[in-house]
Amino acid sequence: MKMKVSRSLAGFATLALALSAPALAGGPTSADLANDAASTGDVLTYGMGPQAQRFSPLAQINASTVKDLIPAYSASLGGEKQRGQESQPLVYDGTIYVTGSYSRVFAFDSHTGEKKWEFDARLPDGIMPCCDVVNRGAAIHGDKIIFATLDAHLVALNRNTGKVIWNKAIADYQAGYSATAAPLIVKDMVITGNSGGEFGVVGEVQARNVDTGELVWTRPTVEGHMGTLHGQPNGISGKTNATWPGDLWKTGGAATWLGGTYDPGTNLVYFGTGNPGPWNSHLRPGDNLYSSSTLAIDADTGVIKWSFQTTPHDGWDFDGVNEFIPFDMDGKKLGAKADRNGYFFVLDRTNGKFISANKFVMQTTWANGFNPKTGRPNYVDANRPGPPSADGKGNSVFASPSFLGGKNWMPMAYSKDTGLFYIPSNDWGMDIWNEPIAYKKGAAYLGAGFTIKPIAEDHIGALRAMDPRTGKIVWEYKNKAPLWGGVLTTAGNLVFTGTPEGYLKAFDAKTGQELWKFNTGSGVVGSPVTWEQDGEQYVAVMSGWGGAVPLWGGEVAKTFKDISQGGSLWVFKLPKH
Ligand code: CA
Ligand code: CA
């Protein structure tokens, strides 16, 4: 290691070098990442800990002081291309790392907001992101920042310079694959999923050596496909044709597009899976494993240890990708997931056993609850869209939630203090019908049409506090436009989330009372984080309106037609007294 020092300061420099050597030499290790939830001086993982509880023990900013919160600085992503900024910042050693729309990465000085470097991925023509050109965040390990691109690559950059260290294709973008999730790093492996569930792709989870990008294991998430370990066959996922007819499993979807969480206690990585392909469920009788499920995968081998399907035989695009958050209650090792289908699930995270499923939205037309013994939904058959006729549209039905979900990608948070989950949810429905469809490489593979509709006069978005013990909503905050940003909760009895109207807001974690808001100038659809620096607590969030809602919102677009695009990092702290 080289270090410039003046002769007279050589003695002090030796001391300084000793104190800062770990950060300068190696950067965060897998052990540091596993400990991220407890280390308040940094944010090293998507989810603020591999379990993604998004809870900080910091309390300098709290229900009493938050009213004084002010901007410390803001930093623009610049460029002509804006669109949705769904990234969660990472903070390490004086630098904030964020990803931006169009597969960009930025490093900013965490004290001043000055830009250190920027990396713009050179994207080919013909990428096929279904739902805006977003990216949800990077991963950090050692000297690397790693992120996924819209052309389905995984790229490792030098965290000090932004220069490429390795770059690997995870799938073929010309077949409709893409990638937007933040990678998960476990035991020196970088673990990612893929996107493309609207194009007849095959969902997969891949683990790679974080230093080289070489594959360690793969696990396809559609029944019938072969997994690998160190390049050798490692067993088929499920049993070919057990839950899929004919050849449809070959283009069966179940994309793992939101990434995963990790529980060191069970050594399991939890990945959710998207809709089965095509949307038209009449073409594929059966449960269509492992679509719309949570999968628990052995971190060392990529073998599926258990699975739980939240929407068997999905017919509404109820992707089950939502984050599965490990938490403990009454001495039990549990996990929770607020599903796109409108139900909040609690499972035994060691074996996938069903504990409970409770509605967290106004309305679920497709099912009347779940059978407590089997953990399967009580379907309302009349509310499944009908089969298409030979030459066209089948019977249209009204369905709620809409395909954009009771909750979409935006991550919830769990407070160890209140024992509550804070769910960014939406109340909306859709008219949906089926149409004939055949698979064609690189073409949309829906076999369905839809129109999204509001179902309440006063709101679409609702931030809801869910008690996992009772399945009851403890409080809710209603928002006119759909909520599309992540949630943060802290030991300061606070819950933070953003709104499309441009605000970052803070609520009392126990009562839901709104305590503070600040308008960032564009819609907030990113995930806020907090950390401590020089004795002060900071909060950061990305601002920049976009994501799937403006693309697919139909009638609900009225609620956000006046919102401008943007692309900025906003950082807040309390004034110094
Ligand atoms: Ca940390
Ligand atoms: Ca989908």
From the CA of 253, how far away is ligand 2's center (Å)? 8
Looking at the CA of 409, which ligand is closest?
Answer: 2
In the predicted structure, residue 164 carries a pLDDT above the cut 90: yes
For 243-362, strand residue ranges (E) read 260-263, 268-272, 293-298, 304-309, 325-329, 332-338, 343-348, 354-359
In the predicted structure, residue 11 carries a pLDDT above the cut 70: no
Identify the three-state secondary structure at position 129. Answer: coil
21, 42, 159, 394, 468 from 17: Cα distances, Å: 5, 20, 19, 70, 48
Looking at the CA of 530, which ligand is closest?
Answer: 1
In the predicted structure, residue 42 carries a pLDDT above the cut 70: yes
Whether the Cβ atoms of residue 492 and residue 61 lie closer than 8 Å to each other: yes
Closest residue by Cα to residue 124 from 87, 99, 156, 149: 149
From the CA of 185, how far away is ligand 1's center (Å)? 14
Identify the three-state secondary structure at position 227. Answer: strand
Alpha-carbon distance of 549 to 451, in angstroms, equals 12
Q: How confident is the model at residue 4 (pLDDT cuts 50, 70, 90)?
A: very low
pLDDT tens-digit profile of 411-424? 999 999 999 999 99
DSSP labels for 442-497? TS----EEEEEEE--SS-SEEEEEEETTTTEEEEEEEESSPP-S-EEEETTTEEEE
For the CA atoms of 243, 245, 246, 250, the dihedral, rounded to the nearest 10 degrees, stands at -50
Which residues, other chains included, contact 5 with Cβ-Cβ below 8 Å and sequence gap of 6+? 13
186, 252, 363, 432 from 553: Cα distances, Å: 37, 26, 18, 14
pLDDT tens-digit profile of 169-185? 999 999 999 999 999 99
Beta strand 472-479 pairing with 461-467: antiparallel
pLDDT tens-digit profile of 279-331? 999 999 999 999 999 999 999 999 999 999 999 999 999 999 999 999 999 99
Looking at the CA of 41, which ligand is closest?
Answer: 1
Identify the three-state secondary structure at position 548. Answer: helix
In the predicted structure, residue 138 carries a pLDDT above the cut 60: yes
Looking at the CA of 316, which ligand is closest?
Answer: 2
Looking at the CA of 291, which ligand is closest?
Answer: 2
**At 440, phi and psi to the nearest 5?**
-140, 125
Q: Which residues pair with 81 in a beta bridge?
A: none
From the CA of 45, how far away is ligand 1's center (Å)? 8
Reported as half-sphere exposure (CB side, CA atoms, 13 A), residue 243 has a value of: 20
**CB burial of residue 163 (10 Å; 0-12, 13-18, 19+):** exposed
Alpha-carbon distance of 105 to 77, in angstroms, equals 9
pLDDT tens-digit profile of 180-222? 999 999 999 999 999 999 999 999 999 999 999 999 999 999 9
In the predicted structure, residue 575 carries a pLDDT above the cut 90: yes
From the CA of 570, how far away is ligand 2's center (Å)? 31
Alpha-carbon distance of 504 to 525, in angstroms, equals 10
Q: How high is the mean pLDDT of the chain?
A: 94
Looking at the CA of 203, which ligand is closest?
Answer: 2
From the CA of 318, how far away is ligand 2's center (Å)? 7
Tell me the residue type at 51: Q
Alpha-carbon distance of 472 to 373, in angstroms, equals 20
How many Cβ atoms sit within 10 Å of the Cβ of residue 228? 17
User: What's the pTM value of the predicted model, to 2 decimals?
Assistant: 0.95
For 339-460, strand residue ranges (E) read 343-348, 354-359, 367-370, 377-379, 397-399, 413-414, 421-426, 428-434, 448-454
Looking at the CA of 444, which ligand is closest?
Answer: 2
From the CA of 1, how far away is ligand 2's center (Å)? 48
pLDDT tens-digit profile of 218-274? 999 999 999 999 999 999 999 999 999 999 999 999 999 999 999 999 999 999 999
Alpha-carbon distance of 461 to 556, in angstroms, equals 11
Beta strand 90-92 pairing with 70-76: unpaired
In the predicted structure, residue 12 carries a pLDDT above the cut 70: no
**Sheet-wide strand order for 487-490:** 55-56, 487-490, 494-498, 503-508, 514-519
317 is catalytic: yes
Q: Which residues pair with 95 in a beta bridge?
A: 92, 109
From the CA of 446, how far away is ligand 2's center (Å)? 9
Q: Which of 317, 319, 339, 427 is catalytic?
A: 317
From the CA of 37, how far away is ligand 1's center (Å)? 5
From the CA of 316, how far away is ligand 2's center (Å)? 9
Q: Which residues pair with 272 in a beta bridge?
A: 294
How many Cβ atoms sit within 10 Å of the Cβ of residue 108? 25
Domains of the chain: 22-56+67-77+129-573 (2.140.10.10)
From the CA of 113, how far away is ligand 2's center (Å)? 36
From the CA of 94, how far away is ligand 1's center (Å)? 13
Looking at the CA of 258, which ligand is closest?
Answer: 2
pLDDT tens-digit profile of 327-381? 999 999 999 999 999 999 999 999 999 999 999 999 999 999 999 999 999 999 9
Residue 561's pLDDT is what?
A: 85
Residue 11: its H or E element:
helix 10-25
From the CA of 176, how far away is ligand 2's center (Å)? 13
Percentage of the residues of the chain whose pLDDT score is greater than 90: 91
From the CA of 128, how far away is ligand 2's center (Å)? 13
Closest residue by Cα to residue 126 from 172, 184, 183, 62: 172
From the CA of 508, how far away is ligand 1's center (Å)? 23
Q: Which has the minimum average pLDDT: 154-163, 439-448, 558-567?
A: 558-567
Whether the Cβ atoms of residue 121 and residue 153 lie closer than 8 Å to each other: yes
pLDDT tens-digit profile of 382-391? 999 999 987 7
In the predicted structure, residue 22 carries a pLDDT above the cut 50: no
Residue 25's pLDDT is what?
A: 52
From the CA of 42, how far away is ligand 1's center (Å)? 4
Residue 107's pLDDT is what?
A: 98
From the CA of 269, how far away is ligand 1's center (Å)? 20
Looking at the CA of 403, which ligand is closest?
Answer: 2
